[in-house]
Structure 1
């Protein structure tokens, strides 16, 4: 993480800059305000995307309030590099280890709650809640789609966070949203590699489709690698693929055409093993009935075909990463 370091008014004045000189720097655009009493050089500020701007604002808030104001919730998730879907970045979220004193303004949300020392990480020169604590806080406070996307991505980055989740849930036992959080964290899986794959798992469950294996490697009967697939139903003889735009590139038509061609050859090879392939796009995640129908037709076709030798477990290998079973 290489966010720029804010320049604080107090430090500028202490260095000998006069208030008039500071006002002139702001008028000329040499400095740009990013938070009360905090600035960036214009080029640095212009280069920030929304996520980076939020992180810089978070550091400014913590600088003002002190390190006992631990950055949390969505703010902590951004420091940890989580994938967030449609996040509300208007407020900086902090948690303070106290029983009361919560407040919410247009720019700040203070959460009063116990926080253990082991639940505090230092990331990018800021004190933030640990990945496990962040996962639970988001699972308590966000809609399910958003909580699963963020939680999956945090587990992907920090697989060991799974060990800390039970304690974080126990610590939140009396706080709002913990029942929902327990359901969310039981569903999380760090093997989902994108927001689209996380949403896909949710939509599959809602459609009553059996739970798939994730990121399975397929081989020919002689052991030649064919593909690693997003979703796999070995018993049904079906492969599921989420068509994110990252698979095809963007901007360069020749590159995109080549990517599409390679993807077609890959799918042909998967079908050559005897598997049905069901694909869906981002837009279809929001009208998933068409995918469920597609899946049902594929399952019917698979039932009427002879089982290929490539469907044996020896030819369908999981990725090396192993996630502990949930109780």
Structure 2
């Protein structure tokens, strides 16, 4: 048995003997067992917590997120459940919060808080540095948007932690594909940079997309990437070399970060790239201004040659009044051939 189970039920069905239960399985909660040597995952912890409640509790928080398929949950996180049995026990956190029926879903035969209620609980009960990466992952998997999250807040007005939840929801981006991407976005926002576009597309000179960066600013042609372990495979390294070189040729500055880069290093590199982009933009704008000024000067010179109207008609000024005399090459406003 690779899944958690209630020992008394297994014995009653004749699936196990008491001796087998004691020697080949270990109790992870009161009356709930798992095969010896089985590695606990967030999903297994959630299943065990639900069985501990005798199938009456509602899985919440990180446990609910795990059942919805959200990634990047630390296997050491305790299970979260809303239940009447609040007796303290290792590996499980019980919440006594009120919950309505419309906030409950059935997932894999277990009662689970809805995606929206799960996000609300995470944002209320955990600091933003913990909750936002998890809500990013949950929202990405369940198709929740930042606008939907913010719109749901009035229902929970007055509940403990709702102010913190409002701040967290304002910074959620379902486009982030990993916690490091979320942390980079939050770092740049806290430093005063504009909101970066997640999975930012980088086009070549013909408008074809070379690839996407974890985040970036298209107008500045700055992108950033977090280099995790999956970038270390031979195939990925080859692809990355081609991709980054193509992006560089397209005029983009791609900043690559790893787990060894501290906040100060990351911000210093971003500031340097941003300043370079600003100087480049100013130079381009200045060149455009010079070209425009030159064009206007040339047009003015042509007007002086052709006449004040600029249409090939001279303006002759007499003593009493000004009258237009047709150019010898024009008649009735149309050009005629020379005789």
CA deviations on 1:34-60 (whole Å, 9 max, x unpaired) are 3222223x3xx5343332431232232
Q: Which has the larger displacement, 231-240 or 144-153?
A: 231-240
| 2:256 equivalent in structure 1 | 279
Aligned partner of residue 80 in structure 2, secondary structure: strand
- Equivalent of residue 95 in structure 1, options 77, 82, 86: 82
Aligned runs of 1:192-203 on 2, under 5 Å? 192-203=176-187
- Equivalent of residue 106 in structure 1, options 89, 108, 121: 89
- Report the alpha carbon displacement of residue 141 of structure 1 after superposing the two structures with TM: 1.0
Asked whether 1:74 is paired with 2:62, we answer yes
| Equivalent residues of 2:7, 2:21 under 8 A apart | no
CA deviations on 1:96-151 (whole Å, 9 max, x unpaired) are 5xxxx794613343323332222111112210101111111011111211101100
Inter-CA distance 162–95: structure 2 relative to 1 (3 Å threshold): farther
| 1:25 equivalent in structure 2 | 20
Q: Distance in 1 between matches of 2:207 and 2:108?
A: 45
Inter-CA distance 56–206: structure 2 relative to 1 (3 Å threshold): same
| Equivalent residues of 1:131, 1:161 under 8 A apart | no
Aligned partner of residue 280 in structure 2, secondary structure: coil
Aligned runs of 1:9-20 on 2, under 5 Å? 9-16=7-14
| 2:143 equivalent in structure 1 | 159
Aligned partner of residue 147 in structure 1, secondary structure: helix
Asked whether 1:265 is paired with 2:259, we answer no
- Report the alpha carbon displacement of residue 301 of structure 1 after superposing the two structures with TM: 2.3
- TM value normalised by structure 1: 0.76
- Equivalent of residue 107 in structure 2, options 113, 120, 123: 123
Inter-CA distance 12–238: structure 2 relative to 1 (3 Å threshold): closer
Q: Distance in 2 between matches of 1:200 and 1:85?
A: 18
| Equivalent residues of 2:50, 2:58 under 8 A apart | no
CA deviations on 1:141-199 (whole Å, 9 max, x unpaired) are 11211101100001110114657535653343222211010010111111001111111
| Equivalent residues of 1:132, 1:162 under 8 A apart | no
Inter-CA distance 156–17: structure 2 relative to 1 (3 Å threshold): closer
Q: Which has the higher contact order (CA 8 A, sep 6+)?
A: 1
| 1:302 equivalent in structure 2 | 277
Inter-CA distance 266–166: structure 2 relative to 1 (3 Å threshold): closer
Aligned partner of residue 305 in structure 1, secondary structure: helix
Aligned partner of residue 55 in structure 1, secondary structure: helix
Inter-CA distance 183–104: structure 2 relative to 1 (3 Å threshold): farther
- Equivalent of residue 290 in structure 1, options 259, 262, 265: 265
- Report the alpha carbon displacement of residue 283 of structure 1 after superposing the two structures with TM: 3.0
Q: Distance in 2 between matches of 1:212 and 1:298?
A: 14
| 2:174 equivalent in structure 1 | 190
Q: Distance in 2 between matches of 1:167 and 1:296?
A: 35
- Equivalent of residue 226 in structure 2, options 233, 239, 242: 242
Q: Distance in 1 between matches of 2:158 and 2:46?
A: 29
Inter-CA distance 289–35: structure 2 relative to 1 (3 Å threshold): same
Inter-CA distance 15–278: structure 2 relative to 1 (3 Å threshold): closer
Structure 2 residue runs of 5 or longer lacking an equivalent are 285-339
CA deviations on 1:71-94 (whole Å, 9 max, x unpaired) are 11222122222235557634x322
Q: Distance in 2 between matches of 1:296 and 1:10?
A: 62
